[in-house]
């Protein structure tokens, strides 16, 4: 059975890398900075790699400063 981490606003596929052989990609464009931090930290805490796509400069700078990854 696949495992997911439910954050209410997003459901993280925390076994994708094991099942599919590649990291999960997060579409950043429509998410708040706070949501992105929770998503990236959720994947990190599950021992998974994650890729952020279509992140704005503001989002990227916020993640660098506020995400413990």
**What's residue 6's pLDDT?**
95
Please determine, for residue 2, whether its predicted confidence score (pLDDT) is greater than 80: no
Total of domains in the chain: 1
pTM of the model as a whole: 0.89
Q: What domain range includes position 21?
A: 4-66
Taking alpha carbons only, the member of 32, 45, 16, 68 closest to residue 8 is: 32
Positive or negative: CA dihedral 22, 66, 46, 7: negative
Inter-axis angle of helices 57-66 and 33-45, to 10 degrees?
A: 50
Q: What is the pLDDT of residues 3-41, one digit of tens each?
A: 999 999 999 999 999 889 999 999 999 999 999 999 999
Taking alpha carbons only, the member of 25, 22, 64, 49 closest to residue 10 is: 25
């Amino acid at each position: 059975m696949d495992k997911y981490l439910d954050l209410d606003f997003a459901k993280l596929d925390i076994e994708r890398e094991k099942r599919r052989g590649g990291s999960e990609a997060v579409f950043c464009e429509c998410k708040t900075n706070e949501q992105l931090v929770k998503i990236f930290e959720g994947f990190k805490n599950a021992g998974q790699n994650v890729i952020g796509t279509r992140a704005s400069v503001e989002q990227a700078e916020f993640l660098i400063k506020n995400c413990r990854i």
